[in-house]
Amino acid sequence: MTAAERIEELRRQIRYHEERYYVLSDPEIADAEFDALMKELERLESENPDLVTDDSPTRRVGGRVAAGFDTVEHAQPMLSLDNAYSDDELRAFDERVRKGLSAEGQPVETVAYVAELKIDGVSMALTYDHGALVRAATRGDGVRGEDVTFNVRTIRAVPLRLKESVPGRLEVRGEVYFPRKAFERINKEREETGEPLFANPRNAAAGTLRNLDPALVAKRGLSAFFYQLLPGVGADLQVGPAAHGETLERLRAWGLPVERHWRRCVGIEELLAFCGEWDQKRRSLEFDTDGVVVKVDDLRQRALLGTTSKFPRWATAFKFPAEQKTTLLKRIAVNVGRTGAVTPFAELEPVTLAGTTVSMATLHNADDIARKDVREGDWVLVEKAGDVIPRVIGPVLSRRSPDAVPWQMPATCPQCGSALHRPEGEVVWRCENTSCPAKLQRGLEHFASRSAMNIEGLGESLIAQLLDAGLVKDYADVYGLTTEKLAGLTSTSVRTDGREIQRRFGDKNAAKVVAEIERSRSNELWRVIFGLGIRHIGERAAQVLARAFGSMDVLMAATVEQLQSTHEIGPVLAESLRSWLDEPRNRALVERLRAAGVRMEVPEAERAAAALPGPLAGKTYVLTGTLTSMSREQATAALERLGAKVSGSVSKKTTAVVVGAEAGSKAEKARELGVPTLDETALLALLNPES
Ligand code: IVH
């Protein structure tokens, strides 16, 4: 067997086992055997680099995301769904469908629907070209989404190649989500390192997809389900499906993951039975679902019903009622965050809600407490919708004690005793003492957290110890810690589930943490920027800034205008960053970190790779209308190869708009803004300067 044949054989086997494992949840071989196949393929590919193809299973993580994600226009808008919150509202939906069909001259007694579980994730549109995955885009505003191909390629449930090579291009849509176990694992890790928890799997999935580091995305364990084949785009198919159920079967046959509990329901009673059944059973699933999506099965009937500007008339989302319970609110306590924000929360008599024991609930802010008139000692109604942290809905007034008094925000910080302030026009109270120990504690937890400097072992309890012992007074002091200083510290911390964790620092543990600290000195620049905990500068903004500016020095010298002209950095972020950098204390901190050996620039090699200095670098084009010599995607790819950016919308910053046949509003907008336009001949000249 030649190397090429063996490579093909290995890819075939790996694709098969990936489907068994990630799509069907029914593996046939042990993980170690799978790893062995993968290793062999990796070895053969590294020995034969000319045989590497983009759809090889070894290439899930590859390439790089440019300074930000490009905006892409959807072939057809990605609509949202109308909701039904009760059986009656679902009955009303069925009636509207039947009336609509009658009005179109197609009366029916009972409508056949497909009921699917509603996946609590992020909508995703995948484009396959001749069976190969070429693009993945988020929903965005429905018209334009973000190109997240690099990240979606890392999701093992998403095939890089369809099982049958389908001629031409097609688009499938569905949902990228966090399986419950992966979500719990991540939040557990975050809890242990003191990072803020993701409120729900959907937020976690959205945040992960927007991360600029595909290798990190690959580790998080996202998964996906698909449920839609774009009508029209799949026109290359010889016979398109006639019913939604057939679409689902076809997607499945191509190797795409389809949630398997869908059911064809004839008439409203069968639908209601399905909804009732899954309201009971949903906690047995390995993913979160917040309802059932009900869709007319017959695609001709769908076409007759059509859509409104926002929703299809042939589908609705039946939402499961959120679980609610009453319990005693023992105390309203406040928490001081990293930015000094003081947020109230309810300490509750523990109660079981949606399968977990709940002893705390958010109360948002003081205004919210006053509006709801929630008081200490009240019986309150608590709800757990899709979120990890439950919320207090309101008091049960009939059970209120006559002694209950309205709650007031404490006048002083519970941690440092300084007066609390509420800035003009804001709802949030703050402790403005820059050296408040609570802020420093939270700030250090953030600095050391997995998504920032990633210093394993330096979590909440150790930080509390270090602060108590006076060993650390700011982030830079972390780099002065030695095994001797750490060894011997002991700490106890109580987790939110009430369990106590004892940590003792023996020499071994101390040495581990010191090694982690040492390692973190050479972290990527974005981790440092994010770790500083500047207001509004999240993980992604930090990545964008690091890519765009390349070093802390260049960033520190940037004006608000320069910051703001960075793709994705808006005025709020730019102002916040500039004012943080202007504070002498903060500049001193950066210098102390630098002196401690923390890396303050993007390595040269990476910078060169990210910059891709093609002849059109720094230029942005918009394509509109139909081109005759190539598709828009081909034109986009050709422009990008030369270093240009291709955007979905025209602005003053656009270099030129390429106008094809039957161009619409974008050509007009270009004229309005005085942006030059290019016809197809000019585009070809731009792409092939020699010809
Ligand atoms: S069908 C034309 N099916 O829910 C609309 N959507 O609340 C096509 N969702 O934007 C959507 N599970 O992101 C459909 N089985 C399912 C779904 C589902 C989750 C999401 C989807 C949609 C949102 C609307």
Q: For 434-472, how does the pLDDT look when each residue is reduced to its tens digit (9 = 90+)? A: 778 899 999 999 999 988 999 998 988 889 889 988 899
CB of 154 shorter than 6 A to ligand 1:
no
Choose one of 79, 119, 209, 290 to mutate for the ligand 1 pocket test, by most ligand atoms within 8 angstroms of C-beta.
Answer: 119
Q: What share of the chain is helix, strand, coil (3-state, %, to 5)?
A: 40, 20, 40
- Centre of ligand 1 to C-alpha 119, Å, is 7
317 C-beta closer than 6 A to ligand 1: yes
First to last CA, the chain: 44
Ligand 1 center–CA 209 separation, angstroms: 18
Please state the atom number of ligand 1 nearest to the C-alpha of residue 312: 2
Taking CB atoms within 8 Å and a gap of at least 24, the contacts of 164-167 are: 164/131, 164/253, 164/254, 165/130, 165/131, 166/128, 166/130, 166/131, 166/234, 166/236, 166/237, 166/254, 167/130, 167/236
How much distance in Å is there from the Cα of 143 to the middle of ligand 1? 16
State if residue 312 touches ligand 1 by the CB under 6 angstroms criterion. yes
The verdict on the CB of residue 142 being under 6 Å from ligand 1 is no
- Contact, 101 vs 112, CB < 8 A? no
630 pocket-lining for ligand 1 (C-beta < 6 Å): no
> Which atom of ligand 1 sits closest to the CA of residue 295?
1
pLDDT at 68: 65
Per-residue pLDDT at 492:
63
CA of residue 80 to ligand 1 center, whole Å? 7
Atom 21 (ligand 1): residue with closest C-alpha?
Answer: 123
The DSSP code for 479 is G
Tell me which residue has its CA closest to atom 18 in ligand 1. 118
Q: Are 152 and 126 in contact (CB under 8 A)?
A: yes
pLDDT on residue 652: 86
CB-CB contact of 354 with 323 (8 Å): yes
Q: How far is the CA of 262 from the centre of ligand 1 (A)?
A: 13
Tokens of 97: 């469908």
Q: Ligand 1 pocket, 248 CB below 6 A? A: no
The radius of gyration of the chain from alpha carbons, rounded to an integer in Å, stands at 28
For 331-350, how does the pLDDT look when each residue is reduced to its tens digit (9 = 90+)? 999 999 888 899 999 999 99
**pTM score:** 0.67
Give the residue whose CA is nearest to atom 16 of ligand 1. Answer: 118
| 81 Cβ inside 6 Å of ligand 1 | yes
Dist. CA 173–CA 122, nearest whole Å: 11
Q: What residue owns the CA closest to ligand 1's atom 14?
A: 293
For ligand 1, whether the C-beta of 293 sits within 6 Å is: yes
Q: For residue 115, how far is its CA from the centre of ligand 1 (angstroms)?
A: 12
Active site residue 118: yes
Neighbouring C-beta atoms of residue 293, cutoff 10 Å: 19
**Identified catalytic residue from 39, 118, 163, 325:** 118
Nearest CA to ligand 1 atom 3: 293
pLDDT of residue 612: 44
Q: What are the structural domains, with CATH classification, of the chain?
A: 3-59 (1.10.287.610), 89-319 (3.30.470.30), 324-400 (2.40.50.140), 433-520 (1.10.150.20), 525-610 (1.10.150.20), 614-687 (3.40.50.10190)
Q: Which atom of ligand 1 is nearest to the CA of 80?
A: 10
DSSP states of 508-523: HHHHHHHHHHHHHTT-
- The pair of structure tokens assigned to 426 is 């804001």
Would you tell me how many other CB atoms lie within 10 Å of the CB of residue 223?
A: 23
C-alpha span between 320 and 280 (Å, rounded): 10
Pick the closest to residue 428 from 329, 577, 535 (CA basis).
535
Where does residue 83 rank: exposed (0-12), middle (13-18), buried (19+ CB within 10 A)?
Answer: middle
| Ligand 1 pocket check for 622: Cβ under 6 Å | no
User: What was the pLDDT predicted at 372?
Assistant: 93
Q: Assess whether the C-beta atom of 297 lies below 6 angstroms from ligand 1.
A: no
* Angstrom distance (rounded) from CA 27 to CA 39: 18
* Residue 503: both structure tokens together: 């940590």
Question: What is the per-residue DSSP string for 322-358?
Answer: PEEEEEEEEEEEEEE-TTSEEEEEEEEEEEEETTEEE
User: What integer pLDDT is reported at residue 63 of this predicted model?
Assistant: 55
Ligand 1 atom closest to Cα of residue 259? 15
Ligand 1 in reach of 206 Cβ (< 6 A): no
**Partners of 323 in the β-ladder:** 384
Give the pLDDT of residue 196.
74
Q: Which atom of ligand 1 is nearest to the CA of 81?
A: 24
Confidence at residue 287, expressed as pLDDT on a 0 to 100 scale: 93
Say how far apart CA 113 and CA 104 lie, in whole Å: 18
Q: Please work out whether the CB of residue 116 comes within 6 Å of at least one atom of ligand 1.
A: yes
- Atom index in ligand 1 nearest the CA of residue 117 equals 15
How far apart are the CA of 525 and the centre of ligand 1, in A?
A: 38
Question: Which residues, including other chains, have CB under 8 Å from residue 134's CB and lie 6 or more apart?
Answer: 127, 128, 149, 169, 633
Residues of the chain with pLDDT under 70: 62-68, 194, 232-238, 385-387, 491-504, 607-614, 641, 689-691
Going from the Cα of 565 to the center of ligand 1, the distance in angstroms, rounded, reads 35
CA atoms within 13 A on the CB side of 375: 13
**541 Cα: distance to centroid of ligand 1 (angstroms):** 28
**Ligand 1 atom 17, closest CA:** 118
> Which residue among 76, 85, 114, 175 has the greatest number of ligand 1 atoms within 8 angstroms of its CB, and so is best to mutate?
175
Give residue 226 CA to ligand 1 midpoint distance, Å. Answer: 10
Residues 6+ apart with CB under 8 A from 530: 451, 452, 537, 538, 539, 542, 543
The pLDDT value recorded for residue 520 is 96
State the pairing for strand pair 379-384/356-362. unpaired
- 650 close to ligand 1 (CB < 6 Angstrom): no
What separation in Å is there between the alpha carbon of 568 and the centre of ligand 1?
A: 27
199 lines ligand 1 (CB under 6 A): no
The pair of three-digit structure tokens given for residue 550, joined into one six-digit string: 């390349």
pLDDT at residue number 236: 57
Three-state DSSP state, 491:
strand
Ligand 1 pocket residue status of 123, Cβ below 6 Å: yes
Distance CA 440, CA 337 (A): 9
Q: Which residue has a Cα nearest atom 22 of ligand 1? A: 80
Nearest CA to ligand 1 atom 7: 81
Please work out whether the CB of residue 80 comes within 6 Å of at least one atom of ligand 1: yes
